[in-house]
Structure 1
Amino acid sequence: MSLSNVQKKQYRNIGHTLNPVVTVAGNGLTEPVLTEIDRALEDHELIKVRYSISDREVRYSIVEETAKVLKCEVVQTIGKVALLYRAALEPNPKLSNLLR
């Protein structure tokens, strides 16, 4: 499920106005955090997640682990915020950030 450069550019443009919906802090990727990210991806398809972890290498490894576990694409990472995308099985036009 690789995104083309055109899609990434379009999603970055949409994601610019979004606020982070989930924060991953010191406890890392716990089951409740993964469940919340999964729910947000299913509802909104394109979300921002804030990783409040100081160490850059650890933060990037957790972002990649999130993408691997939840089968989503990392569109962009800037500082402590990652923009994640996963197509919904049944997109809801009222909730999806891509269909609004």
Structure 2
Amino acid sequence: MLANETTLTGKQKRFLRALGSTLEPVVQIGKGGVVDSVIESAVQVLTVREIIKVRVLQNSPEEPKTAIAALARATGAELVQVIGRNGLLYKKNEDKSKIELP
């Protein structure tokens, strides 16, 4: 963990899970696993949206939890939750924050 990284409280995670429940997965981890192109697209979308849903496809060589956690580390995002093959990542945009955490 980085020094300036904060861990989310239970209340904040619940809030983010509620926001994420209606989202469609915008980043998919496929047979290449967590490769540079996946990391780059996740970083771009996180910068704009702050919260994204990630799907691990059936052909991914990694377990969904492992792959999503690796993507969270690579992007510097918080892993909010993993359900099945879907995960929710959050990263605050320091310049233009859209989501106000409780």
- What RMSD over aligned residues (CA atoms) do the two structures have, in Å? 2.0
Residue 41 (str. 1) matches residue 46 (str. 2): yes
Deviation per CA, 1:39-88: give whole Å up to 9, x if none.
01111001101011468x63221111111111111101111000000001
| 1:13-51, Cα deviation, whole Å (9 max, x unpaired) | 111111111111111111111100000111100110101
1:74 corresponds to: 79
Unaligned runs of 5+ in 2: 1-5
Could you list the structure 1 runs, at least 4 aligned residues long, displaced by more than 2 angstroms after superposition.
none
- The correspondence for 1:13, drawn from 18, 24, 31, is 18
Task: Measure, in 2, the Cα distance between the counterparts of 1:36 and 1:54.
Answer: 19
Question: Which stretches in structure 1 are left out of the alignment for 5+ residues?
Answer: none
CA distance in 1, matches of 2:93, 2:42: 13
- TM-score normalised over the length of structure 2: 0.83
Q: What does residue 90 of structure 2 align with?
A: 85
The TM-score, its normalising length taken from structure 1, stands at 0.84
Distance in 1 separating the partners of 2:58 and 2:77: 21
Identity value in percent: 30
Aligned length: 95
